[in-house]
């Protein structure tokens, strides 16, 4: 994780950021301006304006007081300008010693030292877009129905059916093809149908299965 020293030049980065330069002036003066002076500015400056009492200027760096509920201590978080946020995210998530932690742990790690308005949303988006993390995730296995052998003891006892369509309408008004196969003999036939309603399918299957005796059991493929 980067340090607050000259190697990372955070002091210079804050001083060169127009919004943080303005916040530094507020803290130097010891008071924040009226809201109408910042109401037309961006989310970053308006958020820091609302947190003015939690901000502190120390060694020319803007810090935010953060209460760590887990450790029951108040910590100082350096406020990070826009230009340096990607570097912080990299150090706390992508670097070799960062370990490509998940969203919650990466956020917790950053909060130990750094802050900017919208931090949580930025961490969530950054981790979600990490290619290495995506490759490491175990793919969700799709549940499949167990294979089963259909047992029959005589022809026309059980039929398998499938429907092809919707197709261009024929002169007789048919738009579907019903495919029927006998499980026992493997005999397969097809029929033209005007629609795919259940009553139509049953009518054609019973015709195929000699409805004067019985209507076979139908299985949809």
Q: Which residues, at least 6 apart from 124, have a Cβ–Cβ distance to it below 8 Å?
A: 103, 107
In a domain? residue 201: yes
Average pLDDT over residues 12-40: 94
Structure tokens at 39: 């109401």
Mean pLDDT of 92-109: 89
Residues 97 and 189 in one domain: no
pTM: 0.58
**Two tokens at 154?**
């005589």
Residue-by-residue DSSP string for 12-57? HHHHHSHHHHHHHHHHHHTS---GGGTTTS-HHHHHHHHTGGGEEE
Shared domain check, 174 and 91? no
| Same-domain check for residues 33 and 122 | yes
Identify the sign of the CA torsion 106, 2, 8, 15.
positive
What residues form DSSP beta bridges with 64?
Answer: 55, 77
Gap between the Cα atoms of 160 and 123, Å rounded = 53
Q: What is the largest CA-CA distance in the chain?
A: 100
Q: Tell me, yes or no, whether 14 and 100 share the same domain.
A: yes
Q: 21: which 2 tokens?
A: 């330069």
Question: pLDDT value at position 13?
Answer: 92
The model's pLDDT over 183-195, given as tens digits with 9 standing for 90+, comes to 888 888 888 989 9
What number is the average pLDDT over the span 109-123? 95
Range of the domain at 194: 159-207
- Residue 88: pLDDT above 90? yes
114 and 203 belong to one structural domain: no
Whether 7 shows a pLDDT value over 90: the answer reads no
* 31-35, 119-123, 160-164: segment of lowest average pLDDT: 160-164
Residue 216: per-residue pLDDT: 53
Q: What is the pLDDT of residue 96?
A: 79
Average pLDDT rounded to a whole number, residues 161-175: 87
Residue 125 sits in a domain of what CATH number? 1.10.340.70
Please name the residue that has the structure tokens 């130097």: 28
Q: How many domains does the chain have?
A: 2
């Amino acid at each position: 994780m980067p340090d607050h020293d000259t190697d990372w030049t955070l002091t210079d980065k804050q001083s060169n950021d127009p919004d943080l330069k303005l916040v530094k002036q507020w803290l130097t003066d010891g008071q924040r301006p009226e809201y109408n002076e910042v109401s037309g500015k961006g989310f970053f400056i308006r958020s820091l304006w609302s947190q003015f009492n939690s901000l502190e200027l120390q060694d020319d760096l803007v810090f935010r007081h953060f209460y760590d509920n887990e450790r029951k201590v108040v910590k100082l978080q350096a406020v990070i300008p826009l230009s340096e946020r990607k570097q912080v995210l990299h150090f706390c998530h992508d670097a070799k010693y960062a370990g490509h932690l998940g969203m919650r742990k990466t956020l917790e790690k950053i909060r130990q030292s750094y802050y900017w308005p919208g931090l949580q949303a930025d961490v969530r988006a950054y981790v979600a877009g990490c290619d290495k993390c995506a490759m490491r995730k175990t793919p969700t296995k799709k549940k499949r129905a167990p294979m089963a052998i259909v047992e029959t003891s005589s022809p026309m006892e059980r039929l398998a059916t499938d429907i092809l369509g919707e197709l261009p309408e024929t002169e007789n008004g048919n738009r579907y093809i019903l495919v029927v196969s006998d499980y026992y003999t493997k005999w397969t036939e097809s029929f033209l149908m005007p629609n795919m309603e259940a009553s139509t399918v049953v009518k054609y299957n019973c015709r195929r299965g000699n409805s004067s005796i019985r209507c076979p059991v139908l299985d949809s493929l």
